Structure formats: structure tokens, C-alpha cells
Amino acid sequence: MNVAVIGASDKPERFSYQALGLLKQKGHQVFPVHQRLKSIDGMTVYPSIKEITQPIDTVTLYVAADISSSIAADILGAKPRRIIFNPGAENPDLAQKAKAQGITTIENCTLVMLRASNF
């Protein structure tokens, strides 16, 4: 599964960094997205989801609602199958727009989902 991690971090204590590692460990193709970082542990970091040329199955958000709202058109334009809003990243407006386009939205923790094998 191709997973875009918006708000990816190169700081090991961050949940988004931990998600990158666990997603890879579970066999997913991971696409970190962050405006300023160029790479994380050898992975290319994309400045925008628009730069990812592969189809995206899942977007997992680790950014506040004001940030995801500012890039909502890019997220929706990627036509993911689903968007996961991690704790603190909830965005009812984006979720409503996604649902209107047939995109599944989930408010849950990517790490918990992966560890429980229900990702």
C-alpha cells in the first residue's frame, strides 16, 4: 500500500517519525511529506503531496487543521482511498470534503492501527 505521511519528521521522538518506520517494517511504500526536509533515514521527502507520482492509497495526517486546510486541494487532488486523521490532526471540514468525494476518513492513531494489525 502506498502511504503519504503528511507532517513527516526526522525527530525519533515524534509519532510521525515512528509511523514512517513502522509502515516500512509492515511492508508499505512510504512517501514522507514535509516542506523543508529533503530526506529522512535515506527516504526522499516530498515538499508536497503533489510531487508524488505514484498513486496514493492512504494519507496519514500529522499536521494541525490549519495546515491541512491550506493543502486540502492537494490532498484531495491525490485521490487517496482514505485519510487518517491522527490525534491532534482532526479537521472536520477536510473530512467532510473528502467524504463528499468518496474518500474514507478515519480518526485514529496510525501507530495503534499498525500494531493492532487493522491498518
pLDDT confidence of 83, banded at 50, 70, 90?
very high
Say what the pLDDT of residue 63 is. 98
User: Of the candidates 4, 16, 19, which has an alpha carbon nearest to the alpha carbon of residue 54?
Assistant: 4
Band of residue 30 on the pLDDT scale cut at 50, 70, 90: very high
Q: How confident is the model at residue 15 (pLDDT cuts 50, 70, 90)?
A: very high
pTM (predicted TM-score): 0.97
Average pLDDT over residues 53-59: 97
Residue-level pLDDT at 33: 98
Q: Write a three-state SS string for 73-117.
A: HHHHHCCCCEEEECCCCCCHHHHHHHHHCCCEEEECCHHHHHHCC
The greatest distance separating any two alpha carbons of the chain, rounded to the nearest whole angstrom, comes to 36
Angstrom distance (rounded) from CA 52 to CA 56: 8
CATH topology (fold) of 2-115: Rossmann fold (3.40.50)
Say which residues have a Cβ less than 8 Å from residue 9's Cβ, sequence separation at least 6. Answer: 16, 17, 34, 37, 40, 62
Q: What is the pLDDT of residue 59?
A: 98
Residue 74 near residue 96, CB atoms below 8 Å: no
| Separation in Å, CA 29 to CA 21, 52, 84, 96 | 11, 12, 16, 27
What's the pLDDT at 57?
A: 98
